[in-house]
Every structure is written in structure tokens, then in C-alpha cells.
Structure 1
């Protein structure tokens, strides 16, 4: 890319670093074209520029909506310097060759989205000329440098000092322009889409979904060492992002992120009750809630399955103190997340240098009550569904057995069903006195999940007698109910919906155990 007559068009909202860039342009013999606010800023810094309206001979119209959209501007950007026809047309026209365009946009997200402006007010922050100028410059990258990011000014200053500007550099900036323009348009499209009737609860899955993601960090590897992986986050600052700070330990791994997501969702479903979960491979292996202190929460969750807990992660909505840290330190864990840690706890954990310690700001947050989407890649498609927020309250359950479930047992069943929602299917949860004592997850048959949960519960110090059982989906046969009764389980909750529900109900009546239908299934794959 070579320079002929040197001319730069500058029109920016964010003026950070502009004075340094503009002075360098003047030093490199560039004429600067600028618009109202930018020109005033340049003059205040002692930098001369030519007003765009003076250059085009057309004053700004419609309260500034029309100022740069003019053939003398776009002709100077777009014409092909090596095309004879273009050259003739340019020579027969009265416009400058524009070699460099510096533009950034009105802050639509900050001024319109975050302030929740109405569509009629939001339009005042939609940039028209800026994206058009940059797209034109980026299209003609061989002859015109397109600059949207102030972070690139320093490199631009070095490039304009050279006889020719490097083509790779120009392509790099053009690529950034197309990315930023796309992100800007997506932000606006998503905003307007959220304002229409189609965005209501009646249509939570729109005809198109626009995702703009930016790499946050590269991970050591993916799910396995031979896979490469990275963390991406939404470009939009207004998107909900998990806020956390890491005090110590290795960088979070791909599997850590997956476990954290599963655990935080479970903790939020248990809020505002004091709760603690230990997870392994996204499955809870021990959960405790409604205990008077965090050490009791940990001990009871750990006792649920101390073997599986080894190498897992801990998430709680309570502050972790020194005494609890001492107990936790007796076993190897990958990661611990909490709203806060005492200074004593942090000192104790420092002895385990690889242990990741995270403060997560909104662990006490309740689950969303508005419809949201979950997305997964599948072959060459994406599967999108609404997320299953919360757990169906007991008031919507139906007692289907002859024996009624006492209120305190219903509360225990609600806890068990909340945990079952977050286990891989097929899932069975056995709980007692506000803690899990047996978990069976990820089995191809429900009876196997039930047997695993019962076997684990029998080893628990709390004892299986008088416990309750939750199933993430209906029982296809009565075998799980027979097995539950034989082992002292006194109450069951399941969604119902099997053709053989009557057999399961009959089993409960025969064994004198109570059963609730929640009418909601919680498959998780």
C-alpha cells in the first residue's frame, strides 16, 4: 500500500490518544479532514484541520444526521488508484485522495442499551456515517488505512513514517473494522429485537440469534490434553457475566469452568438457604443446606460421598472461615468458590499452591425468573432451548399415594428434587435432614441409578431409614419404588407421566410410603 497525496479523515467520539495521532499525521504531511466535535477538539490542541462541510460545500443537515455521506468523501476513499477509468473519473472530479480514515462510533450500548432507552430515543445513538466510512476504507484496504481502535494508534504512527504502509498491517486493521462494525450492528439488532412483540414470553426463540464473542483467555487444554480450548465472553458489556476474582492457584481449566457452572446453578436454586455443594465432572457428589455454620455444611456434604469428593470442587454461598479451611485442607480439591474468605482461611489455603481459590460476587443471587436460552453445538447445527429456571414449588405438586406426605418431608423432597435437577440423567437423589446421603447419576437405566444411590446411602452415617427419594424423570416400572421401600425410604417425588404410573402408585400404597407428582421432568444430558 503506497501513499499519494496524503489526506486523513478523522471523526471520532472517543478522543483518547487522538491528539498524539493527529500531531503525527501533521508531522507526516497529512491534511486532516474532520467533523464538528472532532475539529473543535483538534483546534483546542493546536492542530489545524479542514472542516468536512467546507470541503464538500454541503453544510450538515437534519441535526447532524447527514454530514459525511457525500461523493467527495466516499469517492476519495473508494476509487482504485491503479484503475485507469477510476483515475480519469477522479481527475475530472474535485475531490481529494483520502489515504487514512480514523473513526469510532457513538456509544449505543452505554447510552441506549444500559440506560434502557425507548426505540425512539435510542436512535439518536445509532452511528450511520462512521460505519459507512470505515467499511469503505476497509474495502479499499490496498490504498486506504481504516482505523477504529485507539489501541492501534501507536502502530499507525510507526507505519505512516515509512515510505509504504505494510499490506499485512492494512489487512489486519480492515479485519478489525469489519468485526467491530458487525458487532455494532448486532448490538443494535439485538436491542431492537428485544423491543418487539416477538420478544415476549410467547416467542422466546427468535428466527435468528446473533452472537458476538471475544476471546478472554486461552486455556492450557480442553476437556482432554490433546484438545485446544479458550474462554470466550459476550462482547456486550451489558450481557450478564459472572464476576469473580482468583486469589491463588493455577489458571482455571476447561473442566473447572464446566463444574463451576453446574455448581453455581445448583447453589442459586437453593438460595437463600445456606448451602454447599461438592462436584465432580459437573455432577454433585455431596450437597448440604440449612445448617447453622459452614463447617457443618462442608462436613455433611463431604460425608455424602467422600471417595468421589476427592479432586472435586467446592461451591458455597457462605463465607469460608479458618476452621472450615482446616477441614477442607485434609482432602485434595481442585477449586473452592465462595462469596468471601476470612484472612485466616486464605492463609491456610496458601499452603496448597495449586488450589484455585475464587471469590464469586453473586453466589447469593436467586436464579433468573425470566426466560433465557441455553445453546449447544450439535454436528453442524446448534440446539437452542429455554433454560429450566428454578424448581417447581410444592404448592404445584400432587399427592398421588394414599399416605400423605408431612410438610417437613415435603421440604426434604423439594431439596432432593432441586439436587436431582442438576445431576446427569438418569438421576436418583436420596436425602435426609437437609443433606444428600446417596446420589445415582448418569445411568442408562433408572433402576441402576436407584441401586447406586441406595448403596451409597447405606454407607452414610445418617442412615437410610426415614430418608426421602427424588427422581429427575418418571419411573417406567415399580421396581425403584419396591427397592426404596425395602430400604426404609418413606417419601418419593417424581414428575409422573409414565403409562405405568398406576403400578408405581400401587407399590407406594402397598408399602405405605407417600409419593408426590411434581409434573415437571428434569432430564440433563
Structure 2
């Protein structure tokens, strides 16, 4: 480990005499360059950035004027030079550094503004391997890291917002503060770390390495929160570089700031409703504490909402509502009769938005579409000292996937009900039991330590709200280890059962189903959700 040299303390205020600018995103570039030039800062740039500044009539040097070398190898080599990195890393007040800079004619670079080749957006757009590799920036991260290390003298910016902070200080005092330079350095290292994380993840996929030796994830801050899951916990919300359509990409049309629990529950609601293709008709999900308390389809969105609400109107109070299609005025009118935290939908019409505007605290989000429930992806869970990573649960069943194991085969209607119930059960915390009929949940039992209790609680909820379970389908997201849970469901009135199967007690459960005249199918697929 290198010992820390005995450098003089960094100055509290540092002047900016020379700025090196090299950006792929040129938004705001000319205006910023004009301010710097007006402050007497010498501008040095590369390629297209230099041309954009020069075309605006501003004085700017080419990087080759400093290095004495032309850009070469298709631009791969232009800033990787001692004159550049010496100008960035030289500690101005250290005698040895100052002597080396003088001997080799290395001028200090006091400000760096670099945003990187757009690797993340390039691969998100489906670029081929060679194009992706060519969009891996080398010189940019090197300059950013050099400037960030020498933040005692150099201000480093990786976004226009960073540069605007620097310009504000320069216009006010002609110098940058050490506090700002430290904050900029921290952001800079986070940016290059995120960039490298994206490259590492892409490369692992490209070479077919499902579980690389090292895995890094990076997110961009969306918002800090008043608190987390509970008031004594701090929290913030981060978004991935190329996020899946959902709460991270949603546009908030109105309402209070989203809380930690709002975002968690809204994500659960939207992931559930994405299972229901809008081409098959309107569907509505109501979520409370990350569990469905009602889901239904309908001829209209308003009808879907009313049927979903009927499953458990008590739990729906203060819940999250997700729609698989447009929020219209008729549906908005019904939703606003209930205290609701968040409504999320692909879109909302003007009349619905106008109605919501009368309830200022209700959060209304639109996403522009639904995510593909079959798209690959990863999910993460923290544990003490590490994190678990797994593929998204993209299980999707059809009638052809079901294996009838009882003497009685299910009717076509029962098959539809079973598939509907199993799809909902996939989004209920384990142990999960869901009763459903005709595109409507009738009872949901969630998060119990045994399956019999989940079946009993789901039936009790149905009874509480006057919903008849006779002729319903019952879905269990994992196998029944004993007949007791199935018997509980049969006694409640269900006539068809869908479950994964695979228990050593399967035959006893099948026998119990046959004794009661039930139709039962095995899926071979378990959909635990903890």
C-alpha cells in the first residue's frame, strides 16, 4: 500500500485557469463554454466537442496542441498522455510535482468536464457486440479518476448539473471551494463505478457467464425520502440505468411525494397487473402491504375495479390500485370514493386527471405501457454481509401445462379460473392461497406459517364480504404437504384446485380430492414469494 506523501494541505479556494472539456452529450455545452471563456478560462477540447465550441466562435485549443500528438487509432488515443494526466494529477503546492511540471512543460488543468461514451444507452438499444465494445470509454474514465483523485486542486464534472454548480461558484468568487471539489470527486467516482458496473454486467451476459465472480449494481438517485419502512430508518430511491417499465419510470401527475412503502407496494401492484394482457380486457389490482387484496377483470375498467374492490373493501382502504389500461373518468369517479394512496396505470385521460386534481394528496402515476412479464431480469435481496440474486419469476402457465391428477377432469371454465387464481397467487406472500371465479378473486390468504391457515383465512375473508366460494377454483403457490389444506378449501366450496405437486404426500392429497369430487391439476411449477 503506497504511503501517503507529505503534501501541503489543499487550498480552500482554487482558481480555474484551464478547463478540459470532452463530452458525448453536448446539451448546454456552448452556453457553459461561453461562461468559462468570459471568465478568462482557457478551453481545451477534443474532436466533436472542440468543433462545437469553435463553431460558436469561442477560442478553444485542441488536445493535440497540448500533447504534440494527433488523435489516432480512430480516436482511441488522444488524452492518454503525461501532459494531460500530469496536468490533472500534479499537486500544485508540492515542490517535486511543481518541478516536474515545469521541466516537462506540463500546465495544470483545473477543471474537467467529461461525460462518457453512451455505453448504457447503446447496449439498451440492442447494439451488436462490436458496437458495444467501441462505446466503452477509456480516456474519459481515466481523466475523471485522475481529476477526482487530485480534487484538492481540480474540479471534476460528469454531468451538466455538476458544471453549473462550478460555474455558480466561479461567477461568485472566481474560485472553487474545497467542499465542492470533494463532493464533485465523490460523484465522479460513483459515476465511473456505475459505468464499469454496466460494462461488467453486459460482458458477463455477452460471454454467457450467468454468475460472474464479481457483480456490481449501480443506480441513479431519484429521490431521498423523509424516512424508510419506519420513521427511524433513513431511505432513498435509486433507478437503474435502463430500468424496466414500472414505478421507476413512471411519471407522477399529482399527489404527495412517494414514500418508501408507497414505492414498494406500487411496484408489487404494477408487476401483478402486468400479468394481465390489456388485449384480453380491463383488469384492476388492489394491493395492501405488498399483497393483493383484490384483483378482477371486467367489461370496463370501472367494472374491473368494482369487482376487485368487492374481494376485500376493508383492506383496500389506504391501498394501491393498478390498472392494465387507461384510467377513465368513470373509473376515477369510483376510485376516489375510497381513501387510496397511489393509482398507477399506463395512461389516464384528461377527465380522469381533472377529477383526481380535486384530491391533491392522491398520487397518480402513468407509465406509458406495461412491462413484459416474460422478459428476463434479476431480482435482489440484501442479507447481512451480502445480497442474494436470482432471475425474475417469469413463470407463465397455459392449459397445456396442467396435468390432471384426479378422477374428475376440470371443466374449461374451471381451467380458466385455476389459471387466473394461480397467476394471482404468484404475487401473494407465501404461504399463499387464492380463491377465484369468473375473473375475480374471492379470497386471499397470505403469509401464513402453514397452508391450512392460509386456506382458512382466505375463506373467512370471502365470508366476511358475502362472496360465495361454491364453484370456485383454489390456487396454492406451493404443494399441499398434507390433505388438511385441501380439505379446508373443499369445505369452503371450491371445486377445482391448482397446485405445483411434488410432495411425498401427493397421493394422500389426491385421494382427499377424489373423495370430495374435486378436479385437481399439478403445474410442476412452484411460485414462492417471500
State TM-score, norm by structure 1. 0.89
State the secondary structure of the residue aligned to 2:340. coil
Equivalent residue for 1:388?
Answer: 393
Change (3 A) 1:394 1:103: same
Equivalent residue for 1:521?
Answer: 526
Equivalent residue for 1:282?
Answer: 290
CA contact (8 A) 2:274 2:373 kept: yes
Mapped to 2, the partners of 1:342 and 1:177 lie a distance apart of: 41
Q: Does 1:239 align with 2:249?
A: no
Change (3 A) 1:33 1:482: closer
Q: Does 1:116 align with 2:126?
A: yes
CA contact (8 A) 1:17 1:150 kept: yes
CA contact (8 A) 2:422 2:477 kept: yes
Equivalent residue for 1:441?
Answer: 446
CA contact (8 A) 1:267 1:277 kept: yes
Change (3 A) 1:477 1:105: closer
Instruction: Report the Cα offset of residue 20 of structure 1.
Output: 4.7
Equivalent residue for 1:484?
Answer: 489
Residue pairs, 1:69-468, within 5 angstroms: 69-110=80-121, 112-160=122-170, 162=173, 165-198=176-209, 203=210, 205-234=211-240, 236=241, 238-242=242-246, 243-272=249-278, 273=280, 274-289=282-297, 291-363=298-370, 365-368=371-374, 370-468=375-473
State the secondary structure of the residue aligned to 2:434. strand
Mapped to 2, the partners of 1:310 and 1:131 lie a distance apart of: 50
Q: Does 1:511 align with 2:522?
A: no
State the secondary structure of the residue aligned to 1:182. helix
Change (3 A) 1:452 1:210: same
* Post-superposition CA distance 1:267-296 (Å, at most 9, x none): 12232433112221111112212x222233
Q: Which of 46, 51, 59 is the equivalent residue of 2:70?
A: 59
Residue pairs, 1:19-38, within 5 angstroms: 19-38=30-49
* Post-superposition CA distance 1:463-482 (Å, at most 9, x none): 22222211111112112233
Instruction: Report the Cα offset of residue 3 of structure 1.
Output: 6.0
Instruction: Report the Cα offset of residue 27 of structure 1.
Output: 5.0
Instruction: Report the Cα offset of residue 163 of structure 1.
Output: 6.8
CA contact (8 A) 1:270 1:418 kept: no
State the secondary structure of the residue aligned to 2:117. coil
Mapped to 1, the partners of 2:346 and 2:30 lie a distance apart of: 44
* Post-superposition CA distance 1:415-460 (Å, at most 9, x none): 1111111111111111222212222111112111111122233345
Mapped to 2, the partners of 1:165 and 1:338 lie a distance apart of: 45
Decide which moves more: 154-163 or 210-219. Answer: 154-163
* Post-superposition CA distance 1:321-364 (Å, at most 9, x none): 4444443333322222233444444444444332223333224x
RMSD: 2.7
**Number of aligned residues:** 514
Instruction: Report the Cα offset of residue 376 of structure 1.
Output: 0.9
CA contact (8 A) 2:18 2:108 kept: yes
CA contact (8 A) 2:473 2:494 kept: yes
State the secondary structure of the residue aligned to 1:209. coil
* Post-superposition CA distance 1:224-266 (Å, at most 9, x none): 23333221111x2x33242433333322222222222122222
State the secondary structure of the residue aligned to 2:315. helix
Decide which moves more: 51-60 or 499-508. Answer: 51-60
Change (3 A) 1:459 1:210: same
Decide which moves more: 50-59 or 258-267. Answer: 50-59
CA contact (8 A) 1:271 1:366 kept: no
Change (3 A) 1:398 1:96: same
Change (3 A) 1:182 1:435: same
Gaps of 5+ in 1: none
State the secondary structure of the residue aligned to 1:402. coil
Instruction: Report the Cα offset of residue 517 of structure 1.
Output: 1.0
Mapped to 2, the partners of 1:4 and 1:153 lie a distance apart of: 15
